[in-house]
Chains A and B, each alone.
Chain A
Amino acid sequence: MQQEVVLAMLAKEPSHGYQLRARLRQALGPIGDAMNDGQVYVTLARLEKAGLATSEQSAGLPDRPDRKVYALTAAGQQRVAGWLVQVSWPRPDLAEFHLKLIAAAAAGLADPLAIVDAQRRELLRRLRDAQRAALAEPDRSAAGLLLEGIVLRLQADLRWLEACERNWTPRKDPR
C-alpha cells in the first residue's frame, strides 16, 4: 500500500485506523476484500516514524492500535500536495514477456506460440473475473470504475498478445 495513498486519506480529517480501512474498502470494492487489514496499520506506523503523521490516543481507551487517532503533519500535507500533482503512471512491464518469447525461440526451449496462447488463456480468465465483478457493481460506484480500468488494461494486454501471435506465426506460403 503506497504511503502517499494512506496519507491522502488522512487529508480530509484526522481518523482512526479502522475508519481509514473502511474508506479504502469502499473505494476498492471486491478488490478491497483481498486487502490485508494489517497493511494499513503497518503503513500508518511507518508514516509516523517518518514524521509525516502523528497519532493520539483516544481519551479513556486502552492502548490498542485501532483506538489511535492519526493526523497529518505539515510535512505530510506537503507530501500529499506534491503527490497529487505528480503525473507518473504505473509502468507497463511487457519487456519480460517479450524477452521470454525471444529466449524460448532462440534456444528452442519452447514454441513461442504456445507460450502466447497459454498467457492469453490466463489473461482471458482474469478478464472474465474482473468483468463479472464489474458488472456486479452498482452503476457509478467507485469500485466499479476501478474494475472497469482493470478490464480495459487486460483488454489492451490481450490485443498486444494477439499482435505477438501474428508476429510469431510462421509465414505460410500462399496455397
Chain B
Amino acid sequence: MNEFGASVLRARGLRKQYGKGEGLVRAVDEVDLEVAGGETVGVMGPSGCGKSTLLHLLGGLDRPSGGELWLAGQRIDQLGERALARLRRDKIGFIFQAFHLMDELTAAENVELPALLAGRPARWARRRAAELLERVGLADRAGFLPSALSGGQRQRVAIARALVSDPQVVFADEPTGNLDSQATVEVLRLFEQLHSAGQTLVIVTHDSRIAATAGRLISMRDGAFVDETRLTGGSTGNLGALAGLT
C-alpha cells in the first residue's frame, strides 16, 4: 500500500496520436493528471473520447506519443517493453471490460497467474490467490471454470487477479460494461471496499453508478479533460426528498 496522500500517478502533457497530416487523430490530447495515494478517480465521457486509450497509456499497456508519465516516482513513458512488463507485473493491476480470463483455468489458477509469471513459488501464489478470492467473496468458487461463473463473478475473479501483486494502482476499463445491474452492484461493493482499504483506483466508465464511487470525477471529451468534480464531503441531506416523501 502507498503513503496516503503522496502522489502515486502523475501525467504531464500526455499525448497519443495516430496517422499524420490530414489523417491525424489525437486520441489523447495533452492530458495532465495527478492521483494521490488512496484516491479513487473516475473518468467519464462519450464513446470515442479517448478514455480507454488514456487508461491504457496510464497502465503501461500502450506507449504514449509524447508527454511524461510517472508511477510511484518512476518515469515510465520511455520504458522498453521488458521494463513495462515488469511494471505491469509488480506495480499495476488491470481490470478489463471483457474480463479476459483464461477459459481453461479455474478461478484460483487465473488469479495466481501474474504471481507465477513474476517467478513466485507455486505454493505462495496459490495461497495468495485463495486469500484474494476470499476477499472478493468467491472462496467457495475457487475451483470453478469461468464458464461456470456468472458475469459478475467472473469480473470479481478478474479483480482478485488484479490485486495479486499488491499493486500501487488498479486501473479498471469499463468494469461493468458487460454486466447486468445486479452484477454491477457486486462490483460496486468491491470497489467501495477497496477504496476503504486504501487502494488507489483509476476507473474509466460511462456508468454513473460506478462513477459515483469515485472521490474525483473527470469528464473527458475529444481526448482532453474538460471538467472535474469532487464528490467527497458530506451528504446532500434530505434523502426523503429524493424519494418524493416531502
Which residues of A pack against B, CB within 8 Å? 1, 28, 30-36, 90, 117, 120-122, 124-133, 135, 146, 150-152, 154-155, 158-159, 162, 166, 172, 175
User: B74 in the interface, Cβ–Cβ < 8 Å?
Assistant: no
B-side contacts of A126, CB under 8 Å: 236, 242
Of A31, A135, A158, which contacts B208 at CB under 8 A?
A158
Q: Chain A residues with Cβ under 8 A from B227's Cβ?
A: 117
Given the contacts A34-B239, A121-B229, A133-B239, A28 and B245 also touching, CB distance less than 8 Å: yes
Query: In the bound complex, what is the Cα–Cα distance between A126 and B181 (angstroms)?
Result: 19
Nearest opposing residue in chain B for A29, CB measure:
B239
Is there a chain A Cβ closer than 8 Å to B213's Cβ? yes
Look across to chain A and name the residue whose beta carbon is closest to the beta carbon of B219.
A117
Which residues of A sit under 8 angstroms from B243, Cβ to Cβ?
28, 31, 146, 150
Given contacts A31-B242, A135-B188, contact A166 B46 (CB under 8 A): yes
Q: Size band of the B side of the interface?
A: 20 to 34
B246 surroundings in chain A (CB, below 8 A)? 34, 36
Provide the residues of chain A in CB contact with B213, threshold 8 Å. Answer: 128, 131
Which chain B residue shows the least CB distance to A1?
A: B245
Report chain A residues within 8 Å CB of B217.
Answer: 124
Q: Which residues of B contact A135 (CB under 8 A)?
A: 185, 188-189, 192
Interchain CB contact under 8 A, A155 and B208:
yes
Within 8 A of A (CB), among B183-242: 185, 188-189, 192, 207-209, 211-213, 217, 222, 227, 229, 231, 235-236, 238-242
Structural contact, A31 and B240, CB atoms closer than 8 A: yes
Closest residue to A162 on the B side, CB-wise? B46
CA distance A168 to B227 in the complex (A): 16
Query: A124 touching B242 by the CB < 8 A rule?
Result: no
- B192–A34 touching, CB < 8 Å: no
Q: Decide: A151 near B46, CB < 8 A? Known: A31-B242, A125-B236.
A: no
A131 with B239: CB separation less than 8 A? no
Q: Which residues of A contact B121 (CB under 8 A)?
A: none
Q: Bound complex: CA of A31 vs CA of B231, how far in Å?
A: 21
Inter-chain CA distance A149–B239, complex, in Å, is 13
Chain A residues positioned under 8 Å from B192 (CB to CB): 132, 135
Which chain A residues border B231 with CB–CB below 8 Å?
A: 124-125, 128
Q: Are B188 and A129 in contact (CB under 8 A)?
A: no
B188 is contacted by which of A31, A120, A125, A131 (Cβ under 8 Å)? Answer: A131
Residues in A with CB closer than 8 Å to B240 are 28, 31-35
